[in-house]
Structure 1
Amino acid sequence: MADIGSLEPLATFCGKCDCGCPQLFVDESAPPERRVVITDDFGQKVEMSADQFASLVEEAKEGRLDAVAAA
Protein backbone atom coordinates (compact mmCIF):
# COMPACT_ATOMS: atom_id res chain seq x y z
CA MET A 1 0.00 0.00 0.00
CA ALA A 2 1.21 3.48 -0.87
CA ASP A 3 1.79 6.08 1.81
CA ILE A 4 -1.37 8.20 2.24
CA GLY A 5 0.76 11.29 1.65
CA SER A 6 1.54 10.05 -1.87
CA LEU A 7 -2.13 9.50 -2.82
CA GLU A 8 -4.37 12.11 -4.42
CA PRO A 9 -7.62 12.57 -2.46
CA LEU A 10 -10.86 12.03 -4.40
CA ALA A 11 -12.97 13.91 -1.87
CA THR A 12 -12.47 15.96 1.27
CA PHE A 13 -15.29 15.94 3.79
CA CYS A 14 -15.64 19.36 5.38
CA GLY A 15 -12.79 21.34 3.89
CA LYS A 16 -13.98 24.49 5.66
CA CYS A 17 -10.99 24.53 7.98
CA ASP A 18 -7.35 23.56 8.13
CA CYS A 19 -7.61 20.76 10.69
CA GLY A 20 -6.91 17.69 8.56
CA CYS A 21 -10.45 16.94 7.45
CA PRO A 22 -11.49 13.37 6.57
CA GLN A 23 -10.57 12.36 3.01
CA LEU A 24 -11.38 9.62 0.51
CA PHE A 25 -8.61 7.98 -1.54
CA VAL A 26 -8.30 5.10 -3.99
CA ASP A 27 -5.00 3.25 -3.67
CA GLU A 28 -4.54 1.39 -6.96
CA SER A 29 -1.45 -0.35 -5.57
CA ALA A 30 -3.34 -1.92 -2.62
CA PRO A 31 -4.98 -5.36 -2.71
CA PRO A 32 -8.57 -5.12 -4.04
CA GLU A 33 -10.09 -5.68 -0.59
CA ARG A 34 -8.21 -2.62 0.78
CA ARG A 35 -8.23 -0.27 -2.21
CA VAL A 36 -10.66 2.39 -0.95
CA VAL A 37 -9.21 4.38 1.96
CA ILE A 38 -10.99 6.89 4.17
CA THR A 39 -8.90 8.88 6.63
CA ASP A 40 -10.15 10.89 9.59
CA ASP A 41 -8.83 14.04 11.19
CA PHE A 42 -7.18 12.02 13.99
CA GLY A 43 -4.76 10.16 11.70
CA GLN A 44 -6.75 6.92 11.55
CA LYS A 45 -7.86 5.18 8.37
CA VAL A 46 -10.42 2.67 7.17
CA GLU A 47 -9.60 0.43 4.21
CA MET A 48 -12.30 -1.37 2.24
CA SER A 49 -13.05 -2.90 -1.12
CA ALA A 50 -14.81 -1.04 -3.90
CA ASP A 51 -17.85 -3.31 -3.35
CA GLN A 52 -17.99 -2.40 0.34
CA PHE A 53 -17.71 1.28 -0.50
CA ALA A 54 -20.45 0.95 -3.14
CA SER A 55 -22.69 -0.60 -0.47
CA LEU A 56 -22.01 2.34 1.85
CA VAL A 57 -22.82 4.82 -0.92
CA GLU A 58 -26.06 2.97 -1.73
CA GLU A 59 -27.10 3.03 1.94
CA ALA A 60 -26.49 6.78 2.00
CA LYS A 61 -28.42 7.38 -1.23
CA GLU A 62 -31.39 5.46 0.15
CA GLY A 63 -31.43 7.66 3.27
CA ARG A 64 -30.50 4.94 5.74
CA LEU A 65 -27.65 7.02 7.14
CA ASP A 66 -29.63 10.25 7.53
CA ALA A 67 -30.15 9.72 11.27
CA VAL A 68 -26.38 9.65 11.80
CA ALA A 69 -25.93 12.93 9.91
CA ALA A 70 -28.74 14.59 11.91
CA ALA A 71 -27.11 13.77 15.26
Structure 2
Amino acid sequence: MSDINGLEPLATICGDCDCGCPQLFVDPSAPAERRVLLTDDFGQRVQMSVDQFASLVEEATAGKLDGIAVA
Protein backbone atom coordinates (compact mmCIF):
# COMPACT_ATOMS: atom_id res chain seq x y z
CA MET A 1 0.00 0.00 0.00
CA SER A 2 1.28 3.45 -0.73
CA ASP A 3 0.93 6.64 1.29
CA ILE A 4 0.86 5.28 4.83
CA ASN A 5 2.70 8.27 6.28
CA GLY A 6 1.08 9.44 9.50
CA LEU A 7 -0.92 6.23 9.95
CA GLU A 8 -0.57 4.19 13.12
CA PRO A 9 -0.29 0.48 12.30
CA LEU A 10 -2.43 -1.81 14.47
CA ALA A 11 -2.15 -5.22 12.82
CA THR A 12 -0.88 -7.10 9.80
CA ILE A 13 -3.40 -9.78 9.00
CA CYS A 14 -1.25 -12.30 7.13
CA GLY A 15 2.39 -11.51 7.73
CA ASP A 16 3.67 -14.91 6.57
CA CYS A 17 4.40 -13.96 3.01
CA ASP A 18 5.52 -11.16 0.74
CA CYS A 19 2.12 -10.48 -0.85
CA GLY A 20 1.43 -7.00 0.48
CA CYS A 21 -0.62 -8.44 3.33
CA PRO A 22 -3.83 -6.77 4.51
CA GLN A 23 -3.17 -4.24 7.26
CA LEU A 24 -5.18 -2.34 9.83
CA PHE A 25 -4.30 1.27 10.64
CA VAL A 26 -5.60 4.23 12.63
CA ASP A 27 -5.43 7.60 10.91
CA PRO A 28 -5.40 10.16 13.75
CA SER A 29 -5.74 13.04 11.30
CA ALA A 30 -8.82 11.64 9.49
CA PRO A 31 -12.37 12.72 10.27
CA ALA A 32 -13.97 10.55 12.98
CA GLU A 33 -16.13 8.69 10.46
CA ARG A 34 -13.00 7.57 8.55
CA ARG A 35 -10.47 7.02 11.33
CA VAL A 36 -9.94 3.23 10.97
CA LEU A 37 -8.33 2.08 7.73
CA LEU A 38 -8.18 -1.49 6.45
CA THR A 39 -6.08 -2.21 3.37
CA ASP A 40 -6.01 -5.35 1.28
CA ASP A 41 -3.24 -6.94 -0.73
CA PHE A 42 -4.61 -5.41 -3.95
CA GLY A 43 -4.09 -1.81 -2.81
CA GLN A 44 -7.74 -1.16 -1.94
CA ARG A 45 -8.88 0.59 1.25
CA VAL A 46 -11.89 0.57 3.50
CA GLN A 47 -12.28 3.45 5.92
CA MET A 48 -14.71 3.40 8.83
CA SER A 49 -15.39 4.99 12.17
CA VAL A 50 -14.10 3.53 15.42
CA ASP A 51 -17.72 2.66 16.33
CA GLN A 52 -18.22 0.79 13.05
CA PHE A 53 -14.96 -1.10 13.58
CA ALA A 54 -15.95 -1.93 17.17
CA SER A 55 -19.25 -3.31 15.88
CA LEU A 56 -17.42 -5.47 13.34
CA VAL A 57 -15.09 -6.82 16.04
CA GLU A 58 -18.07 -7.49 18.33
CA GLU A 59 -19.87 -9.45 15.62
CA ALA A 60 -16.73 -11.43 14.78
CA THR A 61 -16.13 -12.21 18.46
CA ALA A 62 -19.73 -13.38 18.79
CA GLY A 63 -19.18 -15.84 15.92
CA LYS A 64 -21.37 -14.08 13.37
CA LEU A 65 -18.60 -14.27 10.77
CA ASP A 66 -17.73 -17.91 11.40
CA GLY A 67 -19.74 -19.02 8.37
CA ILE A 68 -17.33 -17.26 6.04
CA ALA A 69 -14.87 -19.93 5.01
CA VAL A 70 -12.46 -20.43 2.17
CA ALA A 71 -12.37 -23.95 0.84
TM-score by length of 1: 0.89
Q: Distance in 2 between matches of 1:29 and 1:57?
A: 22
- Structure 2: gaps spanning 5 or more residues: none
2:61 aligned residue:
61
1:50 and 2:54 correspond? no
Question: Which structure is higher in strand share?
Answer: 2
Q: Distance in 2 between matches of 1:12 and 1:63?
A: 21
- Structure 1: gaps spanning 5 or more residues: none
Question: Which structure is higher in helix share?
Answer: 1
* Aligned-pair identity (%): 72
Q: Match of 1:5, as an amino acid?
A: I
| Cα distance, 1:8 vs structure 2 | 3.4
2:29 aligned residue:
29
